[in-house]
Amino acid sequence: MTKFSDLKLDPKVLSAVADAGYETPTPIQAGAIPPALEGRDVLGIAQTGTGKTASFTLPMITLLSKGRARARMPRSLVLAPTRELAAQVAENFDVYAKNTKLTKALLIGGVSFGEQDKLIDRGVDVLIATPGRLLDHFERGKLLLTGVQIMVVDEADRMLDMGFIPDIERIFQLTPFTRQTLFFSATMAPEIERITNTFLHTPVKVEVARQATTSETIEQKLIEITPARRDTAAKNKRELLRALIRSEGEACTNAIIFCNRKTEVDIVAKSLKAHDFNASPIHGDLDQSQRMRTLDGFRDGSVRFLVASDVAARGLDIPAVSHVFNFDVPSHAEDYVHRIGRTGRAGRKGRAFTIATPADEKYLAAIESLVKAPIPRGEIPEGFAPSVSAPRARASDDAKPARSRSGRGRSRSDSAKTEAAVAETPVVEAVETPRAEPRREDRREPRRDDRRSDRGGDRGGDRGAPVVGMGDHVPDFLLRSFRPRASTASAAKTTRTAVADSATDD
């Protein structure tokens, strides 16, 4: 069996690894560290939770042990898709490089530019950053990437999902052509493979497990629920989630609960707190300081349930997570692999529950197609019955009177009495003038006819006369006869004749 001492690492690195309690490398570490120490490009594909971070951190520290960093010119660069993952890489670097004099800087959002600029100005050996913040520093003229010797892209497929690929391509173009490049991910989409073919030079592909496979140490269960009403689906899922947590009992020491939307994260966290569960939310809209406090609380046990969006689905190394609950079925099949990979890490056992409704059928089909295995179906906890409460609008109909067009404060019962009274009152027009209901666009025309009848027009005030159509109604002025007037020429001739006769008489 291979040991870390067989991998030709720096003695100071081996000492730090031993202090951390590790003796035997994982398969991805045993396969990626030797070619990385030789200076070759590496493309590593392995299940989440198998130690990919150490696969590039350990050889990087060994290779950078000789040399010195210059101001604003880092010697190595590690790109991570999220702040939490970048912070975790920085923590791993501190653990494994504690016996060396290498320096690092962490460039992530939520931290002031001034503090980060001071670190860069002093010169750093390892720069760990998210793509957006890295480019911000570069465009401000505070950073040069021409001295990068080793470049690492962690969780490469997540970079694709988050739209970072154009930034990654730009960053590659800013680094030297002679750099060493290390790509690591749990899944490898065709677009990512195109990027690797463009920027990696004859890489060593280390694939210790089939792409997009789930760990055998994780027990998966799919719990299907059919809500009685569409508008109570979210409520029924929250009830089922609480029932699942209670059914697990003491075995559920802590858990990560994943939701698809940030708003749903807040709702689920508040619901759990209202039912006396120790839960806290984490998503991208929260301040970085609050996100780090929540993660630290989850690690030290002061927070039992972490309700998260997919910001916590990639790369976070929290070894002692006993359960994962997918409150929402992920819309991207790859996210399912990463979500449930938060449990069952480093050889431990874990359990993953997924709550699904009939609307999630297409997402489940995509997940099972990706992992090439059906998700085992589980039973709903005994005694669970989803509530069938009516919506608030309908439930309040008996509590307060409904508004009507005829009066604001009139209730439905009063309106019914009024309509009954009107129906009993004889109406001449309704009885004597039966006619078909006009279409909406033709309803205004008979009303104009009625108004003319009221004014005593051509019908002589007979309001009971049927109005069939325009063909049966001829206005009175069209039936009158008129005396024709003489033409203009004949009128002028008659005028001249009259004037001549008058002159003769004079």
Q: Summarize the confidence of residues 83-101 as an average pLDDT.
A: 91
Q: Residue 348 domain-assigned?
A: yes
User: 193 and 225, same structural domain?
Assistant: no
Query: What does the pLDDT read at residue 198?
Result: 86
The owner of tokens 């391509």 is: 169
- Residue 264 in any domain: the answer is yes
Structure-token pair, residue 395: 């439930």
How many Cβ atoms are within 10 Å of 213's Cβ, its own excluded?
16
Pick from 383, 400, 425: which residue ends a domain? 383
The reply to whether 407 falls in a domain is no
203 and 232, same domain (yes or no) = no
* 113 and 18 part of one domain: yes
- Co-location of 44 and 136 in the same domain: yes
First to last CA, the chain: 151
| Statement: residue 6 has pLDDT above 50 | yes
Residue-number span of the structural domain to which 138 is assigned: 4-207
| Residue 473: inside a domain | no
Q: What is the mean pLDDT of the chain?
A: 79
Q: Which of 207, 237, 254 is the last residue of a domain?
A: 207
Measured distance CA(35)–CA(210) in Å, rounded:
21
State the residue for tokens 């750099």.
179
What is the number of structural domains in the chain? 2
Between 256 and 455, where is the model more confident?
Answer: 256
Question: Which of 121-130, 134-143, 418-427 comes out lowest in average pLDDT?
Answer: 418-427
The whole-angstrom separation of Cα 107 and Cα 127 is 7
Asked if the structure places residue 393 within a domain, the reply is no
CA torsion, points 62, 68, 70, 73, in degrees to nearest 10? -20
CATH number at residue 286: 3.40.50.300
Name the amino acid, one letter, at 199.
F
Question: How many Cβ atoms are within 10 Å of 41's Cβ, its own excluded?
Answer: 20
User: Is residue 440 situated within a structural domain?
Assistant: no
The pLDDT of residue 408 is above 50: no
pLDDT at 448: 46
Residue 477 lies in a domain: no
Residue spans of alpha helices (H) in 145-188:
156-161, 165-174
pLDDT-based confidence at residue 385 (cuts at 50, 70, 90):
confident
For residues 227 and 194, state if they share a domain: no
313 with 368, same domain? yes
| Averaged pLDDT, 483-502 | 53
Please give the helix or strand (H or E) that residue 474 lies within, else none.
Answer: none
Mean pLDDT confidence for 474-484: 69
15 DSSP β-pair partners: none
Q: What is the pLDDT of residue 493?
A: 55
The two three-digit tokens of residue 460, written as one number: 């002589």
One DSSP character per residue, 291-337 reads HHHHHHHHHHTS--EEEE-GGGSSS---TT--EEEESS--SSHHHHH
Higher-scoring residue by pLDDT: 196, 220 = 220
The pLDDT assigned to 317 comes to 67
Mark whether 176 and 318 lie in a shared domain: no
Residue 147 lies in a domain: yes
Q: Are residues 35 and 170 in the same domain?
A: yes
Whether pLDDT at 241 is above 80: yes
pLDDT digits (tens, 9 = 90+) for 410-468: 444 444 444 444 344 444 343 344 444 444 444 444 444 444 444 444 444 445 555 55
